[in-house]
Amino acid sequence: MQDKKQLEEALSYFQKYSVYEKLFFLMKQKYASLGRLGGTFELRGLTLEEQNTLSGFMGIDFAKASAVKISYAKLKAALRRSRFGIFTWEEILTAYYGVPLSINKEVRLLQKEEKDAFLKSCLSICTEKNVKAWLTGLLSNQANGYRIIEKQFASDARALLKLLHHVIDALEHLPVKYSQRQLLPVFSAEITGNPHYFDDGTSACNLLLNYGTYRFGQADAKLSGIEQRESILYQMGIIKDDLSNTCLAYGITGRKENGCIHEGLQGFANERQALQITLNTLSQLTQLTTLDEARHHNFSTGRHGSQNNCHNIDTSHQNFKIYILENPAVFSYLTKKYPLQAFLCTTGQLKLASYAAMDLFPETYTFYYAGDFDPEGLQIAQSLKKRYGKRLILWNYTKEHYKQAMSDLTVPPHRLKKLDKIDIPELLEIKQCLLTETRAAYQERMLDTYIVE
């Protein structure tokens, strides 16, 4: 609304003075012949009043000039300095004439031929089938991401060619292709020589993410916007934030690429202590297991146990349990009450590290998940259930448990509205309780109901 008001003010100003009608006519003609604005505009026969008006806007004295010559570069600079500087001349001209600027048919045809030839040359860079299919679809269907290419082509085709060279090179050498993980700045430096080339907000990063979505699918919608981007990158073998992205773990160890037990995780598990597992650590593992499983297979859990732990194991006939809590306080309580069990804690909204950890457990593991009974808690529970299906059991999600744990905190209507998207059968009873009572129920009030077998 604010932009619209400012554009109306700009139109009111430019329509007020006759000199702009003469200038805009020349600019419109130039656009039609070039397909863009540029060059120099020459105005003859201006009145002294028109010269003074233009002088005031441009900051140049035209009073003694028989013919006023103004370069487009100076026009752009003057517009940026003015109170209408948020607009381009193309936007102002379009609003002034009430129709989009047009270009001559011959110019349009030539531009199309040049653009088609350029884009064809870009496709020839691709050597990998998936990358070529992605870029072909992007260009032919003008899908999401095409605007990045179109805008860059219009401003600097040579820069676009360099950009696509780097992006294609990156896509054809993704770390996941070699079963590796790399930090984003390191990967960026290896591909382009610039560790910041694929930083957030750059065209290069946007195209990288566009391909990631095409190749691996959308990230979980319940992740924050930042973590959705990180999730897409993670699937490509690229880690953006490897240390602050964590989940809490207890009684859990893991296996590295060489098949050996991770000594650090093993140590915490042996000591029966909780730890925060970073995304960096998770990226170095091929599998997570429980201490219970390790003992089931007679692995040494002593100081030098790793000597006998470098081999593959078969868990196909076993069924181990992982108890997953939303709340750290409940996690702490249950690890003390059941010190021989294995637990994970998501600490509220799921981070990428939580998904990465759960994905590392073999299919034979069953997840028991417990969270708060409020709209956001049900959203998390539903997201996990839809992701892991039968492998995940919603723990104590019953009307009886809701009644026992119901708080005095009223859930406002704008939060209850989030329940509209709760649709899996296992959560409908709790959903109805929340809609009826409009009060949340929290894990801390259900501690004694969590019975681990």
CATH code for the domain of 337: 3.40.1360.10
Give the domain extent around 172: 106-239
- Rounded mean pLDDT of the chain? 86
pLDDT for res 304: 39
Please give the pLDDT value at position 299. Answer: 46
pLDDT-derived band at 225 (thresholds 50, 70, 90) equals low
Q: What is the mean pLDDT of residues 368-395?
A: 94
Same domain flag for 261 and 202: no
128 and 223 inside one domain: yes
What does the pLDDT look like over 144-178, one tens digit per residue? 777 888 777 777 778 888 999 999 999 999 999 98
Domain boundary among 175, 207, 239: 239
pTM for this predicted structure: 0.59
Contact 107, 34 (CB under 8 A): yes
DSSP track, 93-154: HHHHHSS-----HHHHHHHHHHHHHHHHHHHTT--SHHHHHHHHHHHHHT-TTHHHHHHHHH
Kindly provide the b/e burial profile for residues 72-84, where b requires at least 16 CB atoms within 10 angstroms of the residue's own CB: beebeebbeeeeb
Confidence of residue 431 (pLDDT cuts 50, 70, 90): very high
77 plus 135 within the same structural domain: no
For residue 303, pLDDT beyond 50:
no
Q: Residue 341 in contact with residue 452, Cβ under 8 Å? A: yes
Q: Look at residues 48, 76, 103 and tell me which one is the last residue of a structural domain.
A: 103
Residue 315 has pLDDT above 70, yes or no: no
Look at residue 220 in the predicted model and tell me its pLDDT. 64
pLDDT of residue 121: 82
Three-state SS at 66:
coil
The alpha carbon of residue 93 and the mean position of all alpha carbons in its chain are separated, in whole angstroms, by: 36
Q: Using the predicted structure, report yes or no on whether residue 339 has a pLDDT greater than 70.
A: yes
Please check whether residues 290 and 407 belong to one and the same domain: yes
Report the pLDDT value the prediction gives residue 179, as an integer from 0 to 100. Answer: 84
Residue type, 130: N
Cα–Cα distance list, 404 to 399, 435, 440 (Å): 9, 17, 11
Q: pLDDT value at position 2?
A: 60
pLDDT beyond 50 at 128: yes
* pLDDT, average across residues 244-266: 90
Give yes or no: residues 280 and 408 share one domain.
yes
Count up the domains in the chain and report the number: 3
On whether both 209 and 80 belong to a single domain, the answer is no
Does the pLDDT value for residue 308 go beyond 90?
no
Pair 232, 255 in one domain: no
Reported confidence tier of residue 221, pLDDT bands at 50, 70, 90: low
Q: Are residues 161 and 306 in the same domain?
A: no
Least confident of 228-242, 311-325, 341-355, 391-405: 311-325
Do 229 and 157 lie in one domain? The reply is: yes
Higher-scoring residue by pLDDT: 370, 123: 370
pLDDT higher than 90, residue 135: no
Pair (89, 168) in one structural domain: no
Residue at a domain's end among 75, 103, 131: 103
Question: Which alpha helices (H) appear in 18-102, and where do they start and end?
Answer: 18-34, 48-58, 72-81, 89-97
CA angle 70, 76, 78 (to 5 degrees): 80
Answer yes or no: do 129 and 68 share one domain: no
- Res 395 pLDDT > 90: yes
Between 104 and 86, the more confident residue is 86
pLDDT (0 to 100) of residue 306: 41
Residues 313 and 432 in one domain: yes
Does residue 307 carry a pLDDT above 50?
no
